[in-house]
Structure 1
Amino acid sequence: MIKTNPFTSTTFCSIWSKHFLDDREPRSFNFIKNISFYQSKIPGLYINSGRNLTKGLNLELGESSTELEKGKTFLIYDVIDFESNNQAVEKTDMGHYAIRQYPGYLIDLSSFKSLDDYLSKTFKKSSRYKLRKYKKRLEESFNISFKAYCGDMSQNEYDSIFSSFRNLLEKRFAEKQISNNNLDKEEWDFYKDVAHPMILEKKAVLFVMYNNDEPISVTLGYLSKSRIFDAITVFDIDFTKFHLGSIKIMYLIDWCVKNGWHTLDFSKGHFDYKTRWANKQFDFYYHIWFDKKSLKARAISYSLKLFFTLKQVLRERKVNDILHRFTYRLKNKEEQKAQYAFEENGPDCTKVPLEELNLKSNENELFKRVCYDFLYLFPENESNIKIFRLANHESLYLIKGKEKESFVRLIQ
């Protein structure tokens, strides 16, 4: 059972209502506890507050249905905790469908004493060696720090991090060339509006990994009594060679264990990293409850059941991935990605004028990844790296560290 569910909290529901309900008032009903509903555009259909922006609801049945539920149909998204037995369903005097939708993944940390304990009991020796090597290489090459914001965070700092958060997401999905609903204005505005007050209430947390003072990984999590729901997460793709995604999870696990959080919930949807790190899998269901005596309610509920069953079949056949790529191409012009290669041989640099590039300039964004790939090949610290443009040698550059140097050619 999810205790003190953040997605049924007053703050979450009230801010969600402000963004999405268009002055419609949420209502409570007797047959279910702790969940409010709003009237959808389909007469007689009520949908849970939060809709599909919750990351997991638990259902607790209330009293038997009353006149309030008469003739109505209720749709509840993303249920992960409900004992669906005949006795419980019959208690409501209502009809009921539960349609499996997404897989969910989590790490149960209750039996682990530390990050090393978790790694030693989860991964083979060779995998543990690689993970520790990635983390060591990253921390040797950059000035890495990790901070969890929970309970105290200024508005200015919050706004700055959320701006970086969005930039990293846009950069990540531009590379993947798929659309991401989190970046839709309506949805993003809600996340930005709801997270800060919930952080102050200790019902949400922002995990930020920094390189110097620049965020390179951000995770928004919601907090239950002992469970962290990973809602949105991203890392800077310029650090891909350093396996930053895996390192971020190591930092999260370490923080959870040290601070007494027993469950790190990766939420809904299948990704390879989830199957690699999680030690438990579960399913998200959409629940439909309806007045069995109403022909209209039975028709609506059965139509919803067919719709979501078909949607799941299409999802399992990866049709949604094709759709996300298609919608991305409709909204964005396809950009030609610049390619580059390291070369050992080049002109005598003592005879060629060199112009140092400002790696903090937006126009030199590509060279940040060049720099980081160089650091992965030749372990040094970022502070020692410089990149130069070679006069009269189009598309050829020189990258220099304290110990190593290499030519870099841009390939159009």
Structure 2
Amino acid sequence: MASYNSLDFYFDLFERGKFPPVVDDVYYSCDNSEMIRPNNSHSLTNSDVNGWFYLNNVPDYLNLTLKPDYKSKTFQIAQGFIADLTGYSDISNYLRNNLRPRLRTAVKSNIRRLELCFNITYHVYYGEISQEQYDSLMNNLYKFILRRFDELKEENERINEWERFYNLFLPLIRDKKASLFVIYDDGVPINISLNYHYDKVLFYAIPGFDIDYSKFGLGHIMLYKQIEWCIENNYKHFDMSMGDLDYKRQWCTNEYYLERHLIFQPKSIPQAIGVLKEEYIAKLKVYLQSKNIHLVYHSLIKLFNGTQEISEKEINTELRATKAYTTLLEIVDLENYAQYKIDFKNKKYSFLLRQLYDYLFTQQLPIDSITVYEIKPHEDYIIQTPQLCSRLYYQATEASRQ
């Protein structure tokens, strides 16, 4: 029986800049234009000629032309989401045609509030980045992901591959095959997106944000800025990849499928027999996935192996058992409190930031307009602005009392 090789189209393209050996040309299905062919694509080998290919993760928004004497059987394996940017002249036009009015208004409002409350700048590292900048940003992105998924009490598979990603992306960014999109607050990164690039496709790979700024909807703001950049730079697709998440459905223009192509030479009798077997197995796998058998399998594996805890947790476990509240105070009430002005930007008070930033969002105030006092001995806090004062305090949740 003939043997087969397995290649990954998606990540060979984005990480190695290669086409598979049996692929002559690739075309965008949106306008039938040709994708630039890489210079260092695979060459056909004897094993390629004598066997058949499983070519995994081929997005169906691309059409492949195979070398002579090859044919393919195609199977859908996962659903993905893209923003098809062809025909859009600017971000406003894109938003108007694809986002619901409520979300469109919220995103614009959040950008305005973010830029009002903080000293916000945006930067795209695409081609030029120093080792120091790269190390710092990757370290911040790693911490963002750890903290976010620790809060969700979930694991993130990207963390398990972090060393590989860290070693991979610096040369890719310098070769304009990847990028780091960064939102800064006063020079400190608060949202980072690590992306692949190939020809006119940007692949949204690894995002992360500082959860202290959650109220401002940084994920939506980052999508806005990246799609805006893609339109301005004549990209055809902003690929949000697989994974059925609400934000992808809210921002995408199209759903697509990642396909598995079983590529073979129909004139070869051993290959033809082998392909029939593989086609049956592939269809069986698709059927089992449609019945969610794979989810049961993965749940059993987790049950037997146990759930691995994420290391380097960043959230104060005591604060998890509390909830923050703010109440308005009259200026005259301040005489009843022993107040001590604090530098809330000091790392010692980092646990206050999320509540303070939520307050800035709600009141629509710049951060420099507030003063924070600690109340002794209760360890509550007063937020003072030119217009009003509020008391910030923490209270044990019902769960923590049990």
TM-score above 0.5: yes
Change (3 A) 1:241 1:29: closer
1:12: Cα distance to partner? 3.2
Q: 2:353 aligns with which of 347, 365, 368?
A: 368
Q: 1:215 aligns with which of 189, 211, 229?
A: 189
TM-score where L is the length of structure 1:
0.74
1:135: Cα distance to partner? 1.4
1:73-88 alignment, distance < 5 Å? 74-81=53-60
1:113-262 alignment, distance < 5 Å? 113-184=89-160, 187-262=161-236
Q: 1:387 aligns with which of 372, 387, 398?
A: 372
Change (3 A) 1:237 1:66: closer
**1:18-62: CA deviations, max 9, x gaps?**
xxxxxxxx9x98645699xxxxxxxxxxxxxxxxxxxxxx9xxx9
Instruction: Check the 8 A contact 1:178/1:325 in 2, yes or no.
Output: no
- Is residue 12 from structure 1 mapped to residue 18 from structure 2 by the alignment? no
Instruction: Check the 8 A contact 1:388/1:397 in 2, yes or no.
Output: yes
My pick for the range that moved more, 286-295 or 194-203, is 286-295
1:89: Cα distance to partner? 11
The count of corresponding residues between Structure 1 and Structure 2 is 361
Change (3 A) 1:160 1:353: same
1:128: Cα distance to partner? 3.1
Instruction: Check the 8 A contact 2:10/2:59 in 1, yes or no.
Output: no
2:386 match? 402
1:45 match? none
1:349 match? 334
**1:373-403: CA deviations, max 9, x gaps?**
1112211101223332211224x22122333
Q: Which amino acid aligns with 1:111?
A: G
The CA RMSD measured in Å over matched residues stands at: 3.9
TM-score where L is the length of structure 2:
0.76
**1:242-271: CA deviations, max 9, x gaps?**
122212211112222222223211112211
Structure 2: 5+ residue runs without aligned partners? Answer: 1-8, 27-36, 397-402
Provide the rounded CA distance (Å) in 2 between the counterparts of 1:262 and 1:324.
39
Aligned to 1:165, what secondary structure does the other structure show?
Answer: helix
Aligned to 1:331, what secondary structure does the other structure show?
Answer: coil
- Is residue 68 from structure 1 mapped to residue 47 from structure 2 by the alignment? yes
Change (3 A) 1:108 1:200: same
Change (3 A) 1:399 1:8: same
1:331 match? 309
- Is residue 293 from structure 1 mapped to residue 296 from structure 2 by the alignment? no
Aligned to 1:152, what secondary structure does the other structure show?
Answer: coil
Instruction: Check the 8 A contact 1:387/1:399 in 2, yes or no.
Output: yes
Change (3 A) 1:255 1:98: same
Change (3 A) 1:6 1:92: closer
Change (3 A) 1:306 1:74: farther
1:363: Cα distance to partner? 4.4
Provide the rounded CA distance (Å) in 2 between the counterparts of 1:142 and 1:318.
46
Provide the rounded CA distance (Å) in 2 between the counterparts of 1:380 and 1:326.
51
1:288: Cα distance to partner? 4.0
1:30-45 alignment, distance < 5 Å? 31-32=22-23
Change (3 A) 1:150 1:179: same
1:229: Cα distance to partner? 0.9
My pick for the range that moved more, 300-309 or 201-210, is 300-309
Q: Which amino acid aligns with 1:193?
A: N
1:210: Cα distance to partner? 0.8
1:149: Cα distance to partner? 0.6
Change (3 A) 1:325 1:223: farther
Provide the rounded CA distance (Å) in 2 between the counterparts of 1:68 and 1:157.
43
Instruction: Check the 8 A contact 2:10/2:58 in 1, yes or no.
Output: no
Provide the rounded CA distance (Å) in 1 between the counterparts of 2:334 and 2:20.
77
Aligned to 2:270, what secondary structure does the other structure show?
Answer: coil
- Is residue 265 from structure 1 mapped to residue 243 from structure 2 by the alignment? no
My pick for the range that moved more, 299-308 or 242-251, is 299-308
2:34 match? none
Provide the rounded CA distance (Å) in 1 between the counterparts of 2:349 and 2:96.
41
Provide the rounded CA distance (Å) in 1 between the counterparts of 2:296 and 2:391.
42
Structure 1: 5+ residue runs without aligned partners? Answer: 15-25, 36-57
Instruction: Check the 8 A contact 2:10/2:57 in 1, yes or no.
Output: no
- Is residue 109 from structure 1 mapped to residue 93 from structure 2 by the alignment? no
State the percentage of identical aligned residues. 24
Instruction: Check the 8 A contact 2:371/2:384 in 1, yes or no.
Output: yes
Instruction: Check the 8 A contact 2:262/2:275 in 1, yes or no.
Output: no
**1:340-390: CA deviations, max 9, x gaps?**
111235994334332344434444332110111111221110122333221
Change (3 A) 1:405 1:348: closer
